[in-house]
Structures are given as structure tokens and as C-alpha cells.
């Protein structure tokens, strides 16, 4: 962690925590595993998401009731690109429409124009703000990321964007954390903290209620000595059950 003045400007980004209820268990969460050669979070488990681009900003102007409209649009668009799932649009798209949207997103036509072509519109209210992380880790790329909750009942196959990920899958937060603890997967510090927060919820309703109880605050971790060892820390009172981790493991797992 370093003084912001010595770091590259943070890239605005958005992430979607997409949840699906499971019978007899906690919600399943959509995760991807990034390609090992990526410049950021190589090989890590992540929620779908990415940078907010100029087209997202332009489209957001059509939603004056949402100050974070561009971020919501980016989160929805990136989920389509990375997994093939189309969420938070009305009416629900057919499988053929969803496939066409995914295939055509790599072209130059804006996402909202593609939706309009198929008679679909964005439902930004379907996303609930959950968190905002702006780490100052000295990494190749640095992001200022808004996290949103959304839910789906979709059970169609996931289509992985192979340029970015090796797999996409559904798992409970506890299951993903268990894979990380066992060394079979890894995740960056913000992802682990968010998975720990999500693992407390037995239902999607509980997750939404928790999000509403904790107004979104920018989280920038810092390092301080605790128990004679350096720890990466975040503030208390933001909904996270774990607020510090030894620096050694925080940077390794």
C-alpha cells in the first residue's frame, strides 16, 4: 500500500455479484477464474466486471435518477461479455437473443443500441449498491470499483470469454472461500473480504438487507502493526466480518 500521489490514477470499474437461490443452502454466486496471463488479478477468482468505458458513460446519461448509472451499465455489460448471462433487462431475453447479444458485443455498436434492436431495455433498479473498493496496492493496474448485487433464476450454460477467463461457475461464498483456503484457488484481498461478507447470508434477501444497512463508502486498505506483525486493514462498521489480515497472506493468497 502506498500514498495515492505515487500511484497511477485509479481506473473506474464495476462488478456484479450475481446471486441465485439454492434449495436447502445459501445462495450460489457467479464467479470466474481469470486467465493466468492477465495483467491484473492473474489466475484469481473474481466476480464478473471490468472498467467503465466511454459508451457506458454516454448511456448512463439516459438514467438521471441513478448517479452511478454508468457503473451499473458496465456491470451488466461485462457480465454478458464474460459469462453469456443477460440480467437486469426487460423483458427477459430469449436464449437466442442472449446469444446474439453476447456474440455482437465485441463489435462497435453500443450495448444499449444492441438491446434496443431486440426490444430490450435496461432495468438499473435491479442492481443494489453493495461496496466500493479503491485499493492502493502497487499493482500494474489500479481500480476504483463499485460492487452491485443482483439476482437471477437463470440456469442456462455459462459461456466463458476465453480471452479473459478459464472458467465461470456457480458456488456459494463459503465454497469459494474453502477452495482458496485449501490452496486450490486464489483471490485478491477485496474479493476475499467480499466473499466473507457474503458467506454470512442464508438468502438473497439477507444480502440485500445488509447492503441497505451499510451505505457504500470508499474502502482503501492500509497497513499497520498488529500483534507484532504488519496487517492489511480496512475500517470497522462496513459489514465485513474480517477487517485485517497478516500482510504475508494478504499478498500471497
Residue 52 in any domain: the answer is yes
Q: Which domain holds residue 128?
A: 4-217
> What mean pLDDT is predicted for residues 84-108?
89
Per-residue confidence (pLDDT) for residue 107, from 0 to 100 = 73
Q: What is the pTM of this model?
A: 0.93
Q: Does the residue 193 lie in any domain?
A: yes
In a domain, 143, yes or no: yes
Q: 20 burial class (0-12, 13-18, 19+ CB within 10 angstroms)?
A: middle
**pLDDT tens per residue across span 194-238:** 999 999 999 999 999 999 999 999 999 999 999 899 999 999 999
Alpha carbon distance 140, 157 (integer Å):
33
Band of pLDDT at residue 2, cut at 50, 70 and 90: very low
Q: Is 237 contained in some domain?
A: no
Q: Is the pLDDT of residue 40 over 90?
A: no
Q: Is residue 227 part of a domain?
A: no
Q: How far does the chain reach from its first CA to its final CA, in angstroms?
A: 16
What is the spatial distance between Cα 220 and Cα 247, in angstroms, rounded to a whole number? Answer: 15
In a domain, 170, yes or no: yes
Whole-angstrom distance, CA of residue 224 vs CA of residue 247: 9
Instruction: Quick: pLDDT tens for 102-125.
Output: 888 877 788 999 999 999 999 999
143-151 vs 11-22, strand pairing mode = parallel
Phi, psi of 114 (to 5 degrees): -65, -45
3 vs 152 pLDDT, higher one: 152
Domain at 49, CATH number: 3.90.79.10
Q: How many domains does the chain have?
A: 1
The pLDDT tens digits of the residues spanning 148-164 come to 999 999 888 888 877 77
Amino acid at each position: 500500500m502506498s500514498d495515492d500521489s505515487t500511484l497511477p490514477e485509479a481506473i473506474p470499474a464495476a462488478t456484479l455479484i450475481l446471486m441465485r437461490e439454492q434449495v436447502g443452502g445459501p445462495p450460489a454466486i457467479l464467479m470466474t477464474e481469470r486467465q493466468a496471463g492477465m495483467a491484473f488479478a492473474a489466475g484469481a477468482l473474481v466476480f464478473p466486471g471490468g472498467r467503465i468505458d466511454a459508451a457506458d458513460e454516454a448511456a448512463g446519461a439516459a438514467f438521471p435518477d441513478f448517479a452511478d448509472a454508468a457503473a451499473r451499465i458496465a456491470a451488466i455489460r461485462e457480465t454478458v461479455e464474460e459469462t453469456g448471462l443477460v440480467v437486469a433487462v426487460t423483458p427477459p431475453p430469449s436464449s437466442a437473443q442472449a446469444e446474439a447479444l453476447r456474440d455482437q458485443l465485441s463489435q462497435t455498436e453500443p450495448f444499449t443500441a444492441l438491446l434496443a434492436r431486440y426490444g430490450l431495455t435496461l432495468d438499473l433498479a435491479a442492481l443494489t449498491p453493495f461496496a466500493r473498493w479503491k485499493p492502493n496496492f502497487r499493482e500494474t493496474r489500479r481500480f476504483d470499483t463499485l460492487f452491485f448485487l443482483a439476482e437471477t433464476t437463470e440456469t442456462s450454460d455459462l459461456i466463458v470469454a476465453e480471452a479473459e477467463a478459464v472458467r465461470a461457475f456457480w458456488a456459494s461464498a463459503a465454497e469459494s472461500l474453502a477452495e482458496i483456503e485449501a490452496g486450490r484457488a486464489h483471490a485478491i484481498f477485496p474479493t476475499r473480504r467480499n466473499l466473507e461478507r457474503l458467506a454470512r447470508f442464508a438468502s438473497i434477501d439477507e444480502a440485500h438487507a445488509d447492503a441497505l444497512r451499510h451505505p457504500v463508502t470508499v474502502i482503501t486498505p492500509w497497513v499497520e502493526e498488529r500483534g507484532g506483525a504488519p496487517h492489511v486493514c480496512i475500517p470497522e462498521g462496513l459489514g465485513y466480518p474480517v477487517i485485517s489480515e497478516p500482510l504475508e497472506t494478504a499478498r500471497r493468497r
